[in-house]
Amino acid sequence: MDKRERRKQVDRCIDDISRKVLISVHDFLERLTKAGNLSTEQVTEAFMAATALGYQIARMTYPEALRDEVNQAGEALARKIGPHTPHPRSFAQAWSSEPGAALCGAIESHDISNDPTARAAVFDFLVRQHEPMDPLVSHGTRSTYTGGRGDASTQQDATARRDFTAAFLDGWLQNSSHAPAGTKVSGFRRLMGGYSKATYIVTLDQAGTETTVVIRKDSPGLPTGSSVASEFPVLGEMQKIGVPVPAPLWLEADEAVCDGAFMGVSFAEGTPANQIVPTDPATALAWAHSCAEVIGTLHAKTAIPGGDVREPIAHEIDALEARMRTRERAPHPGLLIGLAWLRAHLDDLRDRPACRIHGDFGFHNMMMRDGRIVAMLDWEFSRIGDPVEDLASIKPFMDQIGAWDAFYERYQALSGFTLDATADRYFSVWQEARNMVACLGSLNSLLLPGVKDVPLTVAGTIYIPKYEISILNAISQAETHHG
């Protein structure tokens, strides 16, 4: 046996060992989630870790013959669409070696966003490519946003990432004017989740008097492209118009202080809505009215007379495409189709009203007490937009508790706006495209030095193909209903 063959045997052995290690860890995490002796947050994190490991195991064992078939299918489809030259990407070398590169070039050269037959062929290509890792990928997902920019750096330096700890916060408070002299951090806990922002519950002790505050800190690489530095002033604006939000307390906008900007806000005494979804009609009705009052107040008091919502949306599409090109490490033909469709259908929003929107209005971002919203959280997607985007976000939640009609009646009375069906279909595509670009950022954030967050592993791997499928599904549904 020559040296080269021995090397191949060693490599195969290492691959087999690596797979066995991952499979063993995956099985342990699955047993752990079923053991019943973990906190809710620990079970969630263990489940996410098991999901990510399972996906990577399937990715490691992806059949080489199938990869060749997928490549050939993508190239054949590209030739059918027409001559092409791919636009430049930040990760061009890695990008061009992955399945679908030629197909993306063809889509960039020939708009097929309004061609149902061509879109269906791309859908089939994506399902064929991703089903070995995710057998349910064809269903897509309408999961909550995961996020991150993560396009800031590609250097793999050895610099340790500074952790946001109780000791760090203690020192920062002592050296700032944001807390009375002698204030100490006496309690510090990070909440599970946080794809784009990390959240901490902190207890501050000042001469024996304790105060609870919440810290929101940007994740490495800014997955969503938004920072708490832009979210902070929005909270102040919301307070002024009577929208229930955590009170903004202080902001550290310099990301160099601790690898990301962070802000402190007041602690809202309540329970996350998604943990206590009501089943009785009386509570569901109370929730519906509270949601309508909050979002109706937001939209009515920030409405822009004569505003054209198409202008800010066009800028947002350009920004999404720019972030896509700097983040993509693999070709995503479905996302290209989605962005082209959004541009082609901008005039669907002609004469639509413009106002400030929340951008991610759902139970996952509400704190409830006594049947009412005591605080709307996570304003990172807030901007000037179409009120229908918020209505489209909340409708599945209202349908879940059987209270859409009650919500909508109260909302219309407060705001005067309606759920326009055409705009609703438009924003169903928009949300899937936006969320997918955020997932691309999560992948890049995960690759930054020192980043080891479990949510980013899920957002940056599993959700990317799901959202790509969801974009195509949303377009098909929009055109079916329109027809």
Q: What percent of the chain has pLDDT over 90?
A: 57
**How far, in Å, are 93, 224, 316, 439 from residue 323 at the CA level?**
18, 10, 10, 11
Residue type at 360?
Answer: D
> Is 0.75 surpassed by the pTM of this model?
yes
pLDDT in tens, 223-280: 666 789 999 999 999 999 999 999 999 999 998 888 889 999 999 999 999 999 999 9
CA distance 118 to 124: 10
Q: What is the DSSP letter of 346?
A: G
Low-confidence winner among 5-9, 273-277, 467-471 (lowest mean pLDDT): 5-9
- Helix ranges (H only) for 131-186 are 166-174
Is residue 104 within 8 Å of 340, Cβ to Cβ?
A: no
pLDDT confidence of residue 13: 56
Low-confidence winner among 46-50, 325-329, 413-417 (lowest mean pLDDT): 46-50
Q: Kindly give, in sequence order, each residue whose CB lies less than 8 Å from that of residue 332, ignoring residues fewer than 6 positions away.
A: 100, 104, 324, 436, 440, 464, 468
pLDDT confidence of residue 479: 87
Across the chain, mean pLDDT equals 87
pLDDT surpasses 80 at 147 = no
218 beta partners: 197
* Three-class DSSP category at 280: coil
